[in-house]
Amino acid sequence: MKILITVLCLCFTITTFSQNYKFGKVSEEELEEKICSIDSSANAAYLYKYRKSFFEYNKENGFELKTEIHERIKIYNQEGFDFATKQIRLYKSGGAEERISGLKAYTYKLENNKVVGEKLDKSGIFKTEASKYSNQVKFTMPNIQPGCVLEYKYEITSPFASKVDEFVFQHSIPIKKVEASFEVPEYYNFKVNTKGFLSVKPVIESGRGSITFTNTARSSNSYYQLEQKSFSTSKVDYSKQINKYSLDNIPALKKEPYVNSINNYRSSVKYELSYTKFPRSATEYYSTTWEDVVKRIYKSSSFGEELEKTGYFEKDIDALIGAVSNPAERANLIFNFVKSQVKWNGYYGIYADDVKKAYKNHVGGSGDINLMLTAMLRYAGLNANPVLVSTRSHGIPLFPTREGFNYVVTWLRLPDDSVMLLDATDTYSVPNVLPFRALNWQGRIVAKNSGSGLIDLYPTTKSKNAMTMMVKIDEEGTLEGSYRSVKTNHKALSFRNKYNGADKDAYLEKLENKYGGIEVSDYQVKNDKDLSKPIVESYKFIKESQADIIGDKMYFSPLFYLKTNENPFKLEKREFPVDFGYPSTTSYKLIINIPEGYKIESLPEATAIGLPENMGTFQYKVIGNAKTIQVLVTSKLNQSIISSIYYEALKEYFNKLLQKETEQVVLTKA
Partner 1 sequence: MLKKYITVFLLFFYISSYSQSKIYTSLTIPDNLTEHANAVVRDNTIDIVLESANEMHVKERRVITVLNKQGNRTTHAYVHYDNNEKIKELQVIVYNALGQQIKKIKKNEFKDVSAVDGGTLYSDSRVKYLEYTPISYPYTMEFICETVTSNTAFIKPFNPIDSYFLSVEDSSYSIEFPEGITIRTKEKNFNEFDLEKQELANKFSFKVSNIEAFKPEQYSPFYTLIAPRVLVASNKFSLEGVNTQVENWNDFGKWMYHDLIKETHDLPLETKTEIQNLVKGDTSQIEKAKKVYQYVQDKVRYISVQVGIGGWKPFNVSKVDEVSYGDCKALTNYTMALLNEVGVESHYTVVYARKSQRSIEKDFASMQGNHVILNIPRQNEEDIWLECTSQKLPFGFIGDFTDDRDALVITPEGGKIVHTKKYEEEESLQSIKGKCSVSNEGAIEAKVISVSKGIQYDDKYYLATETERDLDVHYKKRWKYINGLTIQEMSLNNDRDSIEFIEDISFNASNYSKVIGNRMLLQVNALNRNTHIPDRYRNRKLPLQIKRGFKDIDEVEIRLPSDYKIESQPENVSIENKFGSYKMTLEVTDENTIIYHREFTVKDGDFPKEDYAAFRGFYKEVSKLDNAKIALIKK
Q: Is the dihedral of CA 423, 163, 282, 285 positive or negative?
A: positive
**β-pair type (228-250, 175-185):** antiparallel
Amino acid at 77: N
Q: Which is nearer to partner 1, 6 or 521 (CB)?
A: 521
List binders of partner 1 among 76-105 (CB under 8 A): 77-79, 81, 84-85
Q: Which is nearer to partner 1, 492 or 667 (CB)?
A: 667
| E strands present in 15-159 | 44-58, 62-75, 85-93, 96-97, 99-111, 114-119, 125-131, 134-140, 149-158
The CB-of-322 to partner 1 minimum distance in angstroms stands at: 25
513 binds partner 1 (CB under 8 A): yes
Q: Which is nearer to partner 1, 74 or 402 (CB)?
A: 74
The CB-of-575 to partner 1 minimum distance in angstroms stands at: 12
Distances in whole angstroms, Cα of residue 48 to Cα of each of 174, 246, 248, 551: 10, 11, 9, 69
494 binds partner 1 (CB under 8 A): no
The CB-of-229 to partner 1 minimum distance in angstroms stands at: 44
Distances in whole angstroms, Cα of residue 395 to Cα of each of 261, 512, 577: 6, 37, 13
d(CA 509, CA 526): 19
129 binds partner 1 (CB under 8 A): yes
d(CA 146, CA 200): 32
The CB-of-187 to partner 1 minimum distance in angstroms stands at: 38
d(CA 353, CA 370): 12
Q: Which is nearer to partner 1, 414 or 649 (CB)?
A: 649
The CA dihedral of 626, 628, 629, 630, to the nearest 10 degrees, is: -130
Q: Which stretch binds partner 1 (CB under 8 A): 270-278, 479-487, 511-519, 636-644?
A: 511-519
By CB under 8 A, the count of residues binding partner 1 is 64
Q: Which stretch binds partner 1 (CB under 8 A): 150-158, 428-436, 439-447, 502-510?
A: 502-510
| Near partner 1 by CB under 8 A: residue from 122, 551, 596, 626 | 551
d(CA 401, CA 191): 9
d(CA 655, CA 651): 6
Give backbone dihedrals phi and psi of 277, rounded to 5 degrees, phi first: -140, 100
548 binds partner 1 (CB under 8 A): yes
512 binds partner 1 (CB under 8 A): yes
d(CA 545, CA 553): 14
The CB-of-578 to partner 1 minimum distance in angstroms stands at: 15
Q: Which is nearer to partner 1, 299 or 514 (CB)?
A: 514
Element (H, E) at 363: strand 363-364
254 binds partner 1 (CB under 8 A): yes
607 binds partner 1 (CB under 8 A): no
Reduced to 3 states (helix: H, G, I; strand: E, B; else coil), residue 369 is helix
| Near partner 1 by CB under 8 A: residue from 132, 218, 280, 315 | 132
d(CA 500, CA 533): 15
Q: Which is nearer to partner 1, 125 or 470 (CB)?
A: 125
362 binds partner 1 (CB under 8 A): yes
List binders of partner 1 among 558-587 (CB under 8 A): 565-567, 570-572
- Residues in a beta bridge with 238: 209
663 binds partner 1 (CB under 8 A): yes
Q: Which is nearer to partner 1, 308 or 509 (CB)?
A: 509
Degrees, nearest 5: CA angle 20-26-31: 125
The CB-of-666 to partner 1 minimum distance in angstroms stands at: 6
415 binds partner 1 (CB under 8 A): no
361 binds partner 1 (CB under 8 A): yes
d(CA 181, CA 203): 9
The residues that touch partner 1, with contacts defined as CB under 8 A, are 41, 77-79, 81, 84-85, 121, 124, 126, 128-132, 136, 138, 140, 142-145, 254, 343-346, 361-363, 501-503, 505-506, 508-509, 512-513, 516-517, 519, 544-545, 548, 550-551, 553, 555, 565-567, 570-572, 601-602, 655, 658-659, 662-664, 666
